[in-house]
Amino acid sequence: MKSKLPSLLLITLAACSLPLAAPGLSPTPLPTPQILVATQTAAPADVAIPSTPDARYADLTIDALAARTYGGGEVVEQSVIERTDRFTRTLISYPSDGLNIVGFANVPHGAGPFPVVILLHGYIDPADYLVVDYTRVYADWLADSGFIVLHPNLRNYPPSESGPNLFRVGFAVDVLNLIAIVRETAGQPGPLERADAERIGLWGHSMGGGITLRVLAAGAPVDAAVVYGSMSGDEQLNFDHIFYNLSEEQRGLEERAAFADAPLGSISPIYFYDRIQVPVSIHHGDEDPVVPVAWSEELCARLLELGKTAECFVYAGEDHTFSGWEEYLLMRRTIEFFERYLVAGP
């Protein structure tokens, strides 16, 4: 589908020569972006209704994720990684469906309670992944601004344990379990002692954006979400793109062997966007060679057509991972968005 975007907040950002400010500084505030809420509530006419789920993946469907329970256990601090003037970074772990999931937490100094942002990384070969990887800069920016950041490695990323992850649904389960644990244990002694269980946001890049969409469609009790260079909510599109374009037919072999003839509508968030109940901020570079910018434009259009609150920013000349001014602007807009919905409230 090629959506018309007459009412969509679609801002193209040209390269600028303004200086880049470091995290923790307070440059002149950006104008508050307009938040558009469409009045149309019917689903787009060309979106098919999901077929009856194939029994082979019944546990992977959006409905199955929404129906089950999550949580149990706690976030445990394993060691201190780093202390800065504004926050402390620690190595953490938590349980997810019997697996031990490892990651890091950035906790601001001060009394709190602080809103929580769960930050989800994009795809990296697990053999090359580090516990504190490229997404550290985004986590640090948020912690500098007064947010507790929880950054799970997710299953199958050492030293996290390995487990089922067909169509990356296991990643979403890890996030849903973490959200439930935050809500159950915030305020108790430990890494979440100064966390506010009633103010939780999601932030996802690339693969992490796709995970975020699945978690939102499953009805996660969060308050706002940011997706950046996000994968599609259509699992058939994602599978084909990863298998044929991004991995030379090497990633997705298990799914291809088991589900080559199966319709994927029931596991695809795109067919369940009507269930998303929180504001979403969407960011994408218009020269992204990894994930088509059209996927984010379509996401914006569909959310607005469904009457959801969404904002969309397209960054001129930027690829899959921003740098320089555009990276700074991405995080300024992210922080202002979270301040609007996690700090000030709707």
Q: Residue 267: CB partners within 8 Å, gap ≥ 6?
A: 53, 57, 60, 61, 62, 167, 169, 235
Rg of the chain's alpha carbons, rounded to an integer? 19
- Give how many domains the chain has, as a whole number: 1
pLDDT attached to residue 45:
40
Residue 145 domain-assigned?
A: yes
CATH number at residue 170: 3.40.50.1820
Q: Residue 36: name the closest of 278, 217, 307, 284 by CA.
A: 307
DSSP state of 320: S
pLDDT attached to residue 261:
64
Q: Which tokens belong to 97?
A: 């469906």
Residue 107 has pLDDT above 90, yes or no: yes
- How crowded is residue 48: how many other Cβ atoms within 10 Å of its Cβ? 10
Residue 161 domain-assigned?
A: yes
pLDDT attached to residue 27:
38
Q: d(Cα 242, Cα 239) in Å, to the nearest integer? A: 5
Residue 1 domain-assigned?
A: no
In order of 229, 278, 336, the CA distances from 339 in angstroms are 21, 14, 5
Across 242-269, average pLDDT: 64
pLDDT attached to residue 241:
65
**Range of the structural domain that residue 152 is part of:** 10-43+50-343
Residue 47 has pLDDT above 90, yes or no: no
pLDDT in tens, 64-79: 999 999 999 999 999 9
Q: Which tokens belong to 342?
A: 């996690």
pLDDT attached to residue 251:
52
Q: What is the pTM of this model?
A: 0.85
Residue 228 domain-assigned?
A: yes
Residue 134 domain-assigned?
A: yes
pLDDT in tens, 197-218: 999 999 999 999 999 999 999 9
Residue 272 domain-assigned?
A: yes
Residue 5 domain-assigned?
A: no
Residue 80 domain-assigned?
A: yes
